[in-house]
Amino acid sequence: MPPPLAATWALPLLLLVVRTPLPTGARPSPGPDYLRRGWLRLLAEGEGCAPCRSEECAAPRGCLAGRVLDACGCCWECANLEGQLCDLDPSAHFYGRCGEQLECRLDTGGDLSRGEVPEPLCVCRSQHPLCGSDGRTYSQICRLQEAALARPDANLTVVHPGPCESEPQIVLHPYDIWNVTGKDVIFGCEVFAYPMAAIEWRKDGLDIQLPGDDPHISVQFRGGPQRFEVTSWLQIQAVRPSDEGTYRCLARNALGQAEAPASLTVLTPDQLNSTGFPQLPAQHLVPEEEAESEEGEDYY
C-alpha cells in the first residue's frame, strides 16, 4: 500500500498534467475522463484486481463509442472515441480501448520532422459513407454509431451502404453580376446530389442549352469540392449589351431537379461614367475559391 497521504496530493497534480497531451488536430473529446481513468489505474497498479462485485460498478453514461470491460474484466466503462488516445499494446490498460468499429493505430499524420511523436489513436475501421434511417448520409460507420448512441430513442440504423439518395441541392448558387462591356464574367454553381447531378446553363428567353454555338460563351464542370458534388461555371468573354439577362443553373438527377437564377447587367463605359457604379462594393465573381476553403465532414 502506498502512503495514503502521498496519493491524495499526487492525484490533483497528475490530473493537471494529464490535460496537456491531448493530440493536436483531434476532434474535441467530451473531456479528459478517459485519460483521468488511465492515471487512476496507474495509481491503483500493484493492487491487482479485487474480486469482481459488479453491483458496485458505476454505470457509465453517454458512451458515444459504446462500452468495454475495464482492465479487470469486471465493470463496464466508456470505450474511447475516434481521435482519442489508446493503448497499442493489447495487454496495456492506460488510455483504454477503442469502441466498436474503431481500431488503435499509430497516427503518422502529424509533422514528424518537427519533432512530433506519432501517437496511438482510435481510428474508424471503415471510411465508406452510409445512409442512416434518419435519411442523412454519414461519412463512415463511426459517425453513424456516435449519432445512434447519442440519441438512443431515435433507433438510428444503417439503411444501406453508400450515401442516401437525394435530389439536387444547390449548395453555392450563382451571384448577380454587373460589368462593363468587353470584360469577362463568370457564374458559378455548386450542386450536391446522389446520384450525382447533371448541370446545365440556360438564358431566359433563349430555347437552347448554353453555350450553344456562341464562341464567346463557355461552360466548365468539375467534381467536388465535397463528395457527391459537382461544380459548374458559365463564362462569358468580352460581354456585350446583348448578353444582359437572367441566366439559370439547372441541376437534375433521377430524383428531381433544382435551379438557381442570377442576372447579368452590362454597362457601356458611358453609362458607367454617368451612374457612378464603381462605388458599389465588389461582387463575387469566382465562388470556387470560397467553396474550397470549407473542407467539412458533414453531408448535405
Ligand X SMILES: *[C@@H]1O[C@H](CO)[C@@H](O)[C@H](O)[C@H]1NC(C)=O
We find the least distance from the C-beta atom of residue 145 to ligand X, in angstroms, to be 17
Q: Judged by CB under 6 A, does residue 275 bind ligand X?
A: no
Per-residue contact string for residues 125-164; x = within reach of ligand X by CB under 6 A: ----------------------------xxx---------
Residue closer to ligand X by CB (options 209, 283) is 283
Element (H, E) at 244: none
Stretch 183-242 residues interacting with ligand X (CB under 6 A): 183-184
Q: Answer yes or no whether residue 269 interacts with ligand X by CB under 6 A.
A: yes
Q: Give φ, ψ of 229 to 5 degrees.
A: -120, 155
3-state helix vs strand vs coil in the chain, percent to 5: 20, 30, 45
Q: Scanning the structure block, which residue is given the C-alpha cell 448577380?
A: 176
* Four-point Cα dihedral 43, 30, 298, 85, nearest 10: -10
- Kindly tell me which of 35 and 234 has the beta carbon lying closer to ligand X: 234
126's enclosing H/E stretch is: none
**Stretches 39-47, 75-83, 164-172, 268-276: which one binds ligand X (CB under 6 A)?**
268-276
Core vs surface per residue 21-36: b (16+ CB within 10 A) or e: ebbeebeebeebebbe
Q: Residue from 7, 88, 283, 297 that binds ligand X (CB under 6 A)?
A: 283
Among 29, 84, 145, 179, binds ligand X (CB under 6 A): 179
Instruction: Tell me how many residues contact ligand X (CB under 6 A).
Output: 11
C-alpha closest to that of 171 among 300, 261, 288: 300
Report the interface residues with ligand X, using CB under 6 A: 153-155, 179, 183-184, 269-270, 273, 283, 285
